[in-house]
Amino acid sequence: METVSFRLDGRDVAVEATAPMSLLDALRGPLGVTSVKDGCSPQGQCGCCTVLVDGEPRVACVTPLRRVAGREVTSFDGLDTAVATTWCDAFVGTGASQCGFCTPGIVVRLEWLRRRGSLGDAAAVERSLAAHLCRCTGWQSITEAAELVAEGREPDAAERDTAERDLDAAARRATIEGRSAQAVGAHVVGGRGGFAADTAPPGARVALRGAEGEWLVDDGIAALRQRTGKVQGRHSTATATHPIEVPDGDWVATLQTGWVEPAYLEVDTSWCAPGGDPADPLANGGAFGGKVRSPVPAIAQQLADEHARTVVASWSREDVVRFGPKRPPLAGGVAADGTGRILVARCDGIVDAIHSVAPQLEVVELDVAGPPRSVHVRGAGWVEAAVLIAAATGAERIVSPDGSSASATVADDGSLSVTVCCGDPLDAVVLRSYCIGAAHMALGWVTSEAIAVDEAGEVHDLTIRSFGILKASDTPRIDVRIEADDGPPRNGSDAVFAAVALAVWRAQGLPTAWPTGIALRP
């Protein structure tokens, strides 16, 4: 046993480590600092666990606890109250936090940049964000929040839509866009959205999936990581492929897609007390549909009953990539009259999803070896069909199964202009944020995102940095115009996701295979 003493958020602390322990393990474990998040541990690639060590940013999951002995560690919770409030106001005011999982670490790094006097340098902000992954917001609203803080001003009425926002209405819009209950407010920026890993009662045991598929239970996460015997952080040199060939036909537009990782940051986690109901793994975000049928809650419930103790069960990042659902790959062709044929990896509900926007298409399901796939992943099936038909027929606007519509254009400088109509906006800031995030996801999907899966169906790219998600520095300006109508509020970001995919694909000349490998931002 080793005792490590240091200062944390202005107080002296000591941690007894019975196994090699990271700073993240100590912070989230015995020290109870839950604003520091575990999104990829121990890969050190998502930035969600960023803290300051003697004033410099460090990723806590790959910082050995013993390295901070006698040093000063500052988490989001240790920031000066006025400073934290300033950052929270800026993030809420620009829509820079959706689920709130990544934002405490991002704020800590941006605060470090502010202290250095570099926050007003847009290029420096983008470089600093390269250490982070934010899947929700598309970076732009985060850089806008940094700009507000650098200039020492609050969001004005134009940026807020109204000077006094109704955050309940904002939460309603967030819930509609995320398809899961979601809050909006300063507490979300601070990572207090109610994530399952944060809400487990003290003394709960921890469970991780072992290398052979068994679930291992222990009292501490550090010892448990050793017991799993996994090799974390593998980035394959294998090439991502397209498992389905385009069907023969006289097509105007053809498309092939491969395996794509949704890349939500909060890994599947649930806790349960003996005889109780398991905690919802969705908490404050919808994970782009990736957790709709997560098996982890049932596992937490089973383990709690077996051990007669409250158990927190979590997938590792590797588990999420191996066993979390992907959008099913497909290949298709469409003629000038909008008819065509799509071949798609077998997936429950995928035919109905495609026919919801394109009943005229012939859809054939194929048995394809690979990871699990789900029709619940954002727009799976219907987006590809709608984009193919629009590309073939020349349509400019996409209409989603929700009845929302969107269009997008790409300017000569690579910037995107998006128009969306989805009923009562409720809160323009939140709607804009979700539309920017959807545009970012669509842009990456068309140009860069893919994971390698071999012929046997095994996933080879297991690190969060191997998915091809665009960095802030590679993301162009995205302008959003909201067209209000008299209808009830509807999801609009999924329509934007489709419209931007179409616009980017057109701008690149409609190459058959996605990702195209062609960057949009000069």
pLDDT of residue 349: 98
CB count within 10 Å of CB 486 equals 6
- State the pLDDT at residue 233: 60
Q: Is the CB of residue 401 less than 8 Å from the CB of residue 356?
A: yes
Domains of the chain by start residue, with CATH:
2-77 (3.10.20.30), 79-165 (1.10.150.120), 199-252+264-323 (no CATH), 330-507 (3.30.365)
State residue 236's pLDDT score. Answer: 67
Query: Residue 158 pLDDT > 70, yes or no?
Result: no
User: Which residues are CB-neighbours of 109 under 8 A, at least 6 positions away?
Assistant: 47, 50, 57, 128, 129, 131, 132
Query: How many Å apart are CA 290 and CA 264, to the nearest integer?
Result: 8
Distance CA 110, CA 142 (A): 10
Q: In this predicted model, which residue has the larger pLDDT, 164 or 105?
A: 105
SS3 8: strand
For residues 483 and 419, the answer to whether their CB atoms sit within 8 Å is yes
Three-class secondary structure of residue 101 per DSSP: coil
With tokens 């616009």, the residue in question is: 503
Is a pLDDT exceeding 90 seen at residue 464?
A: no
- pLDDT-derived band at 162 (thresholds 50, 70, 90) equals very low
Using only the alpha carbons of the chain, give its radius of gyration: 23
Is residue 423 predicted with pLDDT exceeding 50?
yes
> Exposed (0-12), middle (13-18) or buried (19+): which is 354, by Cβ within 10 Å?
buried
Cβ(178)–Cβ(99) under 8 Å? yes
Compute the average pLDDT of residues 237-249: 93
Report the C-alpha gap between 143 and 128 in whole angstroms: 11
Joined together, the tokens standing for residue 82 give 């006025």
Task: Read off the pLDDT band of 157 (50, 70, 90).
Answer: very low
**What percentage of the chain exceeds 70 in pLDDT?**
97
- What integer is the mean pLDDT of 278-283? 94
pLDDT beyond 80 at 422: yes
Q: Find the range with the poorest average confidence among 111-120, 225-234, 296-305, 513-522.
A: 225-234
